[in-house]
Amino acid sequence: MDPLLFTPLELRGLRLRNRIVLSPMLTYSAERGFVNDFHLMHLGKFAVGGTGLVFFESTKVDPRGCTTARDLGLWKDEFVAPMARIVAFLKAHGAATAIQLGHSGRKARSTLPWEGRVPSPDLPGVDHGEEWELVGPSAVPHADGFPVPRELTRAEVKDLVEAWGKAAERANRAGFDVVEIHGAHGYLIHQFLSEHANRRTDEYGGSFANRMRFALEIAERVRASWPAEKPLFFRASAVDEEGWRIEDSIALARELKARGVDVIDCSSGGMTARSAVESVRTLRYGYQVEYAAAIREGAGIATMAVGLIIHADQAEQILRTGQADLVALGRELLHNPNWPVDAAEKLGVGRLGYGQLPRSYGYWLEKRAGTNYGGRPSTWQVGIGDTASAAPARIAASEGLR
């Protein structure tokens, strides 16, 4: 029986070639919100390397929602065509494509991580001087030393719900297979969910049901714009540092499922500068997988596990034990863009990994492993006793080159 890691998965009308996902990771390489050749190179290598679902990074639905001046945007039509070029390339190499749509809220307007990731009032406009006012659900700063956001009016909240819907429509025109709503890591949707960040007294604040309203309205609006045959994901911080519990995430997931969300992408934390998990346990392999398992069981919805998933057998165990339906890798794939091939070899099904590469890669790698695509034992290997001068001739003869 083939490993589940390399068993195709069907979500609505989408068939993924395997269960391996490139997690959305910010590269801070956009120019005025636009993708460029860096993104083609960056994302293309994961499709060529055999990843089943390749995520673009967090892409903002509103210029005010950019964390940095180098964030990707999808708040206007001009962004569509450059993205479509990259999407087409990824699909041509067998990967499905996904985009995460978000807004940083009170965590916007910061310098780049390697510049300290500090709030700055003096950053230039995101895109041709477009507005970059700091806004949030309430006038509560992210942490000490951070600026105070302006509380969004009720009308502006409605406008942002519409902004997510419009961005999803643009994502569809660009050819994406999956949209993910970013509701985690202390960004705007998470801020609305949190009693700590949300002090509103209207229908978007106060009770748990009211604090969920913004997230649920966005899910409804995106689902209405997103084709019925295409899956919709939602990234959640399953727990955070300010009192959001796994039980809250399960309740939210049930409501999201009722509104057409298909997969919960299970992360954690982000509401403050400290981690929700480091204070209670040593960071370890798969440290967030338990959240994916709890939400999958408690809400009856498919989940994606993420967080120090490093090894092939570890990823396979997550799927085999029913803790998640997909496994997402981030920095491990940065380290090894050909991780799917490496994983297939280590699980004893190298042929599955080679078969998901471009023929110009897979053919040679399978020959190196001892067989070619026709199943004939390879005879090209250099003999142990070959001299340096004899080896090339023997290789050429065995390949019919002489």
By annotation, the residues acting in catalysis are 187
For residue 175, count CB atoms less than 10 angstroms from its CB and return exposed for 0-12, middle for 13-18, buried for 19 or more.
middle
For residue 172, count CB atoms less than 10 angstroms from its CB and return exposed for 0-12, middle for 13-18, buried for 19 or more.
middle
Give the helix/strand (H/E) hosting 303. strand 302-306
Query: DSSP 3-state assignment of 53?
Result: strand
Give the helix/strand (H/E) hosting 193. helix 188-193
Instruction: Tell me the C-alpha distance between 373 and 203, whole Å.
Output: 61
Write the Ramachandran bin of 284: left for phi over 0, alpha for psi from -120 to 50, otherwise beta.
beta
Amino acid sitting at position 88: A
Amino acid sitting at position 239: V
∠110-111-117 over CA atoms, to 5°?
85
